Structure 1
Amino acid sequence: MDLSTAIPVWDIAARLAAAAVCGAALGLDREIRGKAAGLRTHTLVAISAAVTTLVALELYWGMAGKGTGGGDMDPTRVIQGIAQAIGFISAGVMFRAGTTVRGATTAALIWMAGALGIACGAGFYVLAGMALALCLAVTIVFSYALRWMPEPAKPANSIKPANSIKPED
């Protein structure tokens, strides 16, 4: 069994740990708020995105190290696939009830967990840390700010539930 890698094993471990921390930080916020996708989901999404990014980089650098130059391989195309897959997962936590859409913030944070996983998998720790800090600021600060805002007025043409319609005399 060959354990040689283009990226040192300690660096792989650091990248995976950073992805796990980023995903857990986003998931903890959702968990505290009692949302469907919480700590485990966000952590696993970030780790899986990091693993996929690391595998793409390892394959590319492995091919380049064998004198093939990586051929037609482009590790950045992996990001496309990850974004599409996570978009699919995110869509699963959103649903529409009448004129209301629920789960959009959780879906956006799942997508962000994937992006943070990609950044960590690629070794962009500063970028991941800055993005994580900004996301946490948005989710936490905006949550408190929204508590102080007045409720939005309902549109005049909103549909009333069937049981609220009174028969005319």
Structure 2
Amino acid sequence: MHVMDQLWVVGGAAYAMVLGGAIGFERELKNRPAGFRTHMLVAGASSLLIGMGQLAVLDPRFHLPFLINMDPMRLVEAVVAGVSFIGAGTIFASRGGKDIAGITTAASLLMVAVIGASTGLRYHLLAFASAVLTLLVLVVLNFAESKFGIKPTPTDAKDDSASPTQEHDRDG
């Protein structure tokens, strides 16, 4: 395997980590369960896994007649499955079952995994645009929700008149 090909994969992982870090920094500022470092590592790992898959597809050692050819999209599936476990760990329910927190952070971890996969596949513009869109959702929509009173306040969540099955995303 050529060294330059491997350096491209490392460069893509670094780029993914920068993009993931921008999203993680926003989560860090809001004191969420997964922040700057976690988002960077998820994006970088995702990019590396996809990049390694691409290198393996090109590697002549894996093209022997008795070996099965590899499908790079299966690596994307593996990344999503792995990130699902991390994301599940960021979701918390209150004892009363009325509030659920961490869903937005779990979704942002999934997004940085997809951004990492995009860089691993060398779709750098797609990764950048996805990071910008994610930040817009996290920052601009949160601002709009709080400005226009769309999101319930913490005192609303403790209101006993709320139905037991009502869910509030406290992760904004």
Aligned-residue offset at 1:8? 2.3
Matched, 1:24 2:6: no
Separation in 2, partners of 1:38, 1:62: 36
Alignment of 1:45-56 (within 5 A): 45-56=42-53
Aligned match of 1:42: 39
Is the Cα contact below 8 Å between 2:5 and 2:55 reproduced in 1?
Answer: no
Aligned-residue offset at 1:12? 2.1
**Cα deviation 1:41-98 (Å, max 9, x = unaligned):** 0000001111111111111110388575x84311111111110110111001001112
Output the aligned Cα RMSD. Answer: 2.4
Give the unaligned 5+ runs of structure 2: 165-172
Aligned match of 1:106: 105
Separation in 1, partners of 2:50, 2:75: 7
Separation in 1, partners of 2:128, 2:112: 12
Aligned-residue offset at 1:155? 7.6
- If the length of structure 2 is used for normalisation, what is the TM-score? 0.80
Alignment of 1:99-138 (within 5 A): 99-138=98-137
Matched, 1:61 2:43: no
Distance 1:99 1:24, change over 3 A: same
- If the length of structure 1 is used for normalisation, what is the TM-score? 0.82
Aligned match of 2:80: 83
Separation in 1, partners of 2:162, 2:18: 46
Is the Cα contact below 8 Å between 1:6 and 1:58 reproduced in 2?
Answer: no
Separation in 1, partners of 2:8, 2:135: 26
Is the Cα contact below 8 Å between 1:7 and 1:58 reproduced in 2?
Answer: no
Matched, 1:144 2:143: yes
Is the Cα contact below 8 Å between 2:63 and 2:69 reproduced in 1?
Answer: no
Separation in 1, partners of 2:62, 2:70: 13
One-letter amino acid of the structure 2 residue matched with residue 116 of structure 1 = I
Distance 1:59 1:95, change over 3 A: same
Q: Which has the larger radius of gyration?
A: 1
Displacement over 6 Å in runs of 4+: none
Is the Cα contact below 8 Å between 2:16 and 2:47 reproduced in 1?
Answer: yes
Separation in 2, partners of 1:144, 1:157: 24
User: Which range moved further: 56-65 or 23-32?
Assistant: 56-65
